[in-house]
């Protein structure tokens, strides 16, 4: 933690985020939290069915994300 704070102080938060991969890690943690909200455990016991169950959850998350992205149109 101390090294991160020193790097932020020396280079700035923006460069530190790019250098450390913080932005990507933060986005992944957010998506994993969303996955957990759809269910903490897998219901299926068979590996192929577990794979299908995860793919369905991911499809749901992708659809929610698509619904939340604004559509911009030029005016005039």
Give the residue among 54, 61, 51 at the shortest CA–CA distance from 30.
61
Q: Do 29 and 49 lie in a common domain? A: no
71 pLDDT exceeds 90? no
Give the residue among 56, 62, 66 at the shortest CA–CA distance from 31.
62
* Alpha-carbon span 69 to 35, nearest angstrom: 19
Q: Do 9 and 28 lie in a common domain? A: yes
**SS3 annotation, 58-72:** HHHHHHHHHHHCCCC
pLDDT score of 49: 92
Q: Which domain holds residue 61?
A: 40-69
Is residue 58 in some structural domain? yes
Q: Do 26 and 54 lie in a common domain? A: no
pLDDT digits (tens, 9 = 90+) for 21-63: 777 788 888 888 888 888 878 888 899 998 998 899 889 888 8
Give the residue among 63, 8, 54 at the shortest CA–CA distance from 35.
54
Q: What is the pTM of this model?
A: 0.56
Give the residue among 34, 40, 30, 39 at the shortest CA–CA distance from 64.
34
Q: How many structural domains compose the chain?
A: 2
Q: Do 34 and 44 lie in a common domain? A: no
Q: Do 20 and 32 lie in a common domain? A: yes
């Amino acid at each position: 933690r101390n090294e991160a704070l020193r790097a932020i102080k020396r280079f700035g938060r923006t460069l530190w985020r790019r250098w450390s991969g913080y932005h990507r890690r933060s986005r992944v943690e957010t998506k994993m939290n969303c996955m957990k909200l759809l269910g903490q455990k897998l219901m299926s016991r068979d590996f192929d069915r577990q794979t299908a169950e995860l793919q369905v959850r991911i499809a749901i998350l992708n659809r929610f994300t698509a619904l939340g992205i604004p559509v911009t149109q030029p005016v005039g």
